[in-house]
Amino acid sequence: MNYIVDENKNGERIDKFLVGAMDNVSRTDVQKLIAAGEVKVGGATASKNFRVETGMVVVVDKIPEKESSTLEPENIPLDIVYEDEDIVVINKPRNLVVHPGNGVSKGTLAAGLLYHFKENLSTVNGPLRPGIVHRLDKDTPGLMVVAKNDVAHRHLAHQLETRTLHRTYNALVWGCPRDLEGCIDAPIGRNPKNRLKMAVVKGGKESRTHFVAKEFFSFATLLELQLESGRTHQIRVHSRYTGHPVVGDPLYDGREDSLNRVPPLMKPVAEKVLEIAPAQLLQAVKIELIHPRTGKLVKFKVPMEEPFSKVLKLLKKECPASAPVFDEDEGFRDFDAQIRFDEGVKDYDEYAEYDDDNPLCITPEEACPVKVRKTRAERKAEKAATAASRRAKAAERKLIKQMKAARKRGIKSEDFVEPGYEPTIDPDLQ
């Protein structure tokens, strides 16, 4: 099959070009064809990084055979947040696999979508993933967008690629991150020691996770996160990499492995938290996208799921934001949950997930009063002054000890210290 490059496709990567030119193929399908040498330009085999130019003829020797569908519709209840002729926004519950794979063939979200929407789903990702644009882990609840036709699917996939589709997550992590906001930039790939896990590895895929601290407790912090990339287990892996695993995460040291970081008096509360948490306390709470048909920005959000909200209520009661939090540099101190770095950051008040009638709401008004926080330079200067004071006191104690030893040996104090000079010490005493 021959495909001619139009002027508007000039400079595109060849895999992206073919995904748009061919019917019912995914980028994965195209990349497999390229790796097998089935894609040629000018008689030469094309590489995966090849960029097409206007007028070029791209030859595909073999059209990929689409996988026959073994997916059977199942009457699985769906929490539909929004629906129109192009997209469906679903609040996926915990303990639901998105699509078949890894030994799971039944009881998936894909089977439920097929039951409820029948043929009104996109086919871009194949028969086993009807309408599926992106995914969530089995034990991660929250918002997902589903495409009802191929045009909408390609539009949403392009938004994911260009980062104009924003997914916002809430996660409760162990400990207190050093920064109130920031970006975790670390490549992710398969864990070489355990193929069932992912890890930050050299040569992994580029991965970035942005975070903002929303609420502090004595041994945990509530974070709001956004993904710049979409790697498997990305938030869970990055959290573990920074030393703050997601609370309840059974795969990345988020359960009993992290209890040793909890102060003894707070361990009963931490153990209670793990009893409540069925798995990782991570939820996709908000999604923003450009509607494929109207071109308008639309936003959707959902409240916290019950286990997550129950844990937050317990922490707010037993160890609220005013509780002392351990910092590696400053020791235990009081954190202010309202402190934000305002430059370049949106007003997070507009993202309040709940109203006054919802007792599970986490709002700045519920946090401790605003306090004046010292700058980094001021804290550094205080630390230097404290260290100098300790050294001076130690020197004084050492001098007193030496003078006592001198008196025992019959050395007079006037012979030991000369007025107007720094103290001198008998060489025999050193």
Residues with catalytic roles: 137
Residues whose CB is less than 8 angstroms from the CB of residue 212 and which lie 6 or more positions away in sequence, other chains included:
180, 181, 223, 224, 225, 340, 345, 348
84 neighbors 26 (Cβ within 8 angstroms): no
At residue 60, the 3 state secondary structure works out as: strand
Beta bridge partners of 4: 57
| CA distance linking residue 281 with residue 84, whole number of Å | 31
Distance CA 60, CA 1 (A): 5
Burial of 387 (0-12, 13-18, 19+ CB in 10 A): exposed
* CB half-sphere exposure, 50, CA atoms < 13 A: 22
Q: How far apart are CA 369 and CA 309, in angstroms?
A: 23
For residue 394, what is the enclosing H or E element? helix 376-408
